[in-house]
Amino acid sequence: MNYTQTRWTILPEKPLLQSLLQKELKLSPLLSQLLINREITQPDSAKKFLSSSLNDLTPPFLMKDLKKAARRIIEAIYQKKKIFVFGDYDVDGITGTAILKLFLDSVGAPVSFYIPERLQEGYGLNISALGKIRALGASLVVTVDCGISDYDQVLFARDQGLDVIITDHHEVPEKIPPAYAVINPKQEGCGFPFKHLAGVGVAFYLIIALRKLLREEGFWSQGSPPNLREYLDLVTLGTVADIVPLIEENRIFVKQGLEVIETTSRVGLQALKKISGVENIPVSPDLISYRLAPRINVCGRLGQAGKGVTLLTTSDQVEAEKIVKELDEENGKRQQIESAIFKDACGMIEELGQWQNQKVFVFGSSDWHPGVVGIGASRVVERYYRPTILIALDENFGHGSARSIEAFHIYDGLKECRDLLERFGGHEFAAGLTIAKDNINELRERLNALVEKSLGPEDFVPKLYIDAQVDLAKIKEDLVHEIQTLAPYGADNPEPRFVSDVLSANYPQIVGNGHLKLRLRNHFADIGAIGFGLGSLMPEPEAQVRVVFIPEINHWQGTKNLRIKMKAIEVVDQ
């Protein structure tokens, strides 16, 4: 149950832009409007969006420091100097670490990887790990999905004789670490036009650069260079899991990568698909988010993040099956821990009484697991629609995860309170932090004051964006196929949603675990509909309703039929 009402917001039609796309690309008015709603308004960008390939990727060396970094790695390859890939412990970091290790292995580089233990070491580079890496004889560290906020740690590494190449995509602090090279499309002076790559996307661009330079030097004169497409299964996993916008480069990666996942020969990914129940069905971004990614993420959340890299790089089927079985068991434990944290947090909120007066929720508990508070925070935001920080407390400090709403940039908010924080980093909608226990109350007060000052009441009502109003009689299989040309869906490219005119709700019933099933009718059409989780909104038989919906072709036991997937329903007063 969510405690906030949504505001249905129909995006405005733009007839002039519609007619431009219709004329230039021979698109239907509806598909033209769907593209415009996604801020794709010019024929060239629309054509690229609908039919892009790896050839449409932005040239790599527009990215600041990329060539410098690649040349330093190539020097280490030729000199057989040990390289360590230092990755974050989430899916983005694990997949990025895996692809770099796989590529460097393929060119004969002596490469190892290091993923910090979340509970003991925390996020990002740490001095203890860097000391161990140096003692193992490494002269070069390449970070993945971390490092941009680790000034002191990089300074330590430099003093120890370690060159550090940072590859990251997080927000760039005012003080950039003194690394050998910094690859982050968000940094000042970077000419790379697309700023929303995931960490694995930045790592993949480093591989593109390495392959290009090595090829130009004749490295593969006796053979063939690695096929970049073969890495896209892992690039897709990390990109989808990190919830970056599925547009531009990310869309190219994922559109191609989903095909690679279908036919992957990677034994670890095959085992992961099997235990996740998606072995014989088409893999979509939703299935990655809800089935595959959580089982990889659990490595970092509950310990032993290195298992994720081993799973994705091993060629040993027995080892892969052993790891996925362990991860599946750990994922079950994670779900129980997550439910307990969410229940605790909701109890704290209800104890506030008039919780609506709180603009930001900041709670902590010594009973919470630091690897799972982020998922709990996401669920709190989903229920109450407030920026939320949940903090796992130890004796003197807390390690927290923040999640936010559309109107509030949580990273910028934390920047305003940085004097209270030991460490922080993140994005517009998600961040991580370390804070002294004594500073938590002041953090809550200051963030609430900041939000109170900058946001209005309307910002605390989630918007349900609707692409267009569509008559029930126009919903045909051809329309569904046309809409599906926009897939794969994700952030900044949501699955198109439509609103109906007034319809009659016939034969309403609750099925399964609180799902609403009925038939929608008007004078010209009659279509079955399902609303997952909408059972509490069941209307009376033959009530007049409007629905927000997604049309789909439902495949079931060898048959297919047109169906409406309801996202929201309201009874219309007569």
CA–CA gap between residue 402 and residue 437 (Å, rounded): 16
Q: Which of 358, 361, 460 is closest to 405 using CA atoms? A: 460
3-state secondary structure of 550: strand
Domains and CATH numbers, the chain: 7-51+464-571 (2.40.50.460), 56-327 (3.90.1640.30), 352-460 (3.10.310.30)
Residues of the chain with pLDDT under 50: none
Q: What is the pLDDT of residues 368-379, one digit of tens each?
A: 999 899 999 999
Angle in degrees, CA 329, 239, 66, rounded to 5: 125
What is the model's pLDDT at position 13? 96
291: helix, coil or strand?
helix
- Token pair belonging to 252: 């190219």
**Residues sharing a CB contact under 8 Å with residue 262, sequence separation 6 or more, in sequence order:** 282, 283
Residue 471 to residue 493: CA distance in whole angstroms? 23
Rounded Cα gap, residues 22 and 257, in angstroms: 29
| Model-wide pTM > 0.75 | yes
For the beta sheet containing 111-114, the strands, ordered from the edge strand earlier in sequence to the opposite edge, are 111-114, 83-87, 140-144, 163-167, 181-183
Q: Identify which of 175, 231, 179 has the alpha carbon closest to the alpha carbon of residue 205.
A: 231
Residue pLDDT, tens place only, 501-560: 999 999 999 999 999 999 999 999 999 999 999 999 999 999 999 999 999 998 777 788
pLDDT at 119: 78
β-pair type (388-393, 361-365) = parallel
